[in-house]
Structure 1
Amino acid sequence: MIKNVSVIGAGTMGNGIAHVFAQTGHKVVLIDVAAAQLDKALQTIEKNLDRQLAKGTITGQQKQETLQQITVETDLQKGVSGADLVVEAATENEAIKLELFKKIDAAAPQGCILATNTSSISVTKIASVTNRPARVIGMHFMNPVPVMKLVEVINGYATSAEVSAAIVTLSKALGKIPALANDYPGFIANRILMPMINEAVYSLYEGVAGVEAIDTIMKLGMAHPMGPLQLADFIGLDVCLSILNVLHKGFGNPKYAPCPLLVNMVTSGRLGVKSGEGFYTYTHGTKDLVVSDKFR
């Protein structure tokens, strides 16, 4: 029975993951090296709970109970010492994750399951640096975590059937819908999504259509809630580039090569929402979509 959950990384994904576990009755330790980031995460969780409260989906008592389930910790060893499950939600960087999993494996209880929220990095490779590869699995939550229903559950090459079944059951208990995938570059979500985004960037790069036209066609023609260029901005163009590089390297297929325009945008620091500009600008103080001056 998974009751105690440690979440490593208090950024956007980590605080969302902590939120959903705490809201479903799990004791959560949220871990980050930066105390300021932990304070910010708690504020974000409270703000998101207030949104739920305003919509009538939770009560004031449920809000308080959720917040009481969460403690914070800057010491990784202390933070995972009592965990039944550790969910790593650190930066999408292979070297960082491998180093983290060595430390988590050394500090977590023997029977603890170790999960990674990676969206593209090999679960098998992450598991290989631990002494418990059968108990390592991918739990790829979607952003924003409290809202999005999907959890992509990724079985590494050595993940046991018992662990896989436990994580599927747990995901359902969180109110999520789990979908199983095996461990190959990009899994399913990003293996399909990122080439679509890359092709949209290529269409802009080659002058086939403008930013608004590309996104409008995909929204109105394919019933996508958000166009691929806007979605890339939301995800982070640096993250998109990183995942495309994983696909390109993993498969050795030129069809996954990132568009030169995407590479240039990331190199110049235009990363989308997080930097204030990507294919659209986000510094005008409204919710209106305003195309970047570079593409008008």
Structure 2
Amino acid sequence: MKFINKALFLLTLSLSITACGGGSGSSTPAPKAATLSTTNSQDLSIAATESAKQAITSDSANFLAKSTNKIDSNKAITSKVKEIVFEAQTLNSICTDGGSYNDTITGSGTTASGVITFTGCNIGGGIILEGTVTFTGNTTSFTIVYNNLTITVLNEIQTINATIICSTSDQVLTCNTNTAITGIDGRTFEVSKISVTGNSTTGFTVAATVVDPTHGIITISATAVKFDCTTPIEGRPSSGSITFTSNGKTGSVIFDSCSGYTVTLDGVSNVYTWPI
């Protein structure tokens, strides 16, 4: 299963996608907490579902940030900066089934920077990488950016534009990670404060904060979620559940099967089907 591990450590960097788009955005008001109601519960369940999926995709990809996620108190932070370069350099044979990988990487005792480019890089198992990753780092912080990196897994394409900013204090590394995804309803959700555990076999546990562009901010908590449905609804969840909360009020979505899900709020449950 080496090809899966390769894809996973390339995916987690997307935790920090900057969802601002173009322009200064200076006139855009800060989002407020969502007001949960039976009229918007389906919208919010979609926001929760799409955001959980993006969180899992993102958390699976961050090989550079994850390689420095724990600081050994007996090592200088500078050695961790060097590890960023090392991790990138170990990718030079990743395109085992075709395509190419190129990098320009420089580093010293206290700094590191580089650009990694994947061109039709087939790492096996139907996984193809296309796009660039850049990073810069010093003794106190580093930044990693994905620029239109696409990851094709068994004909399903995920596009990642991400920025992760990490800093160190007392040899403890903290990363500020945010991401965004355009959902099946055409709306773009911003996701932050992400925590992901689990795997594709037993299901994933996800916690995150989500900004729904229509309704506002919610927090989500997913349990045993599997996004493993196949044609014609690739990437939809087959099982598991998610709760979404705002202002002390909580709703839930349960994934009954690949075709349908149940949303419950204020004791009212409604069954929906995914569009094909």
Calculate the TM-score normalised by the size of structure 2: 0.27
Structure whose residues are more often helix by fraction: 1
The structure whose RCO (Cα within 8 Å, separation 6+) is larger is 2
Structure whose residues are more often strand by fraction = 2
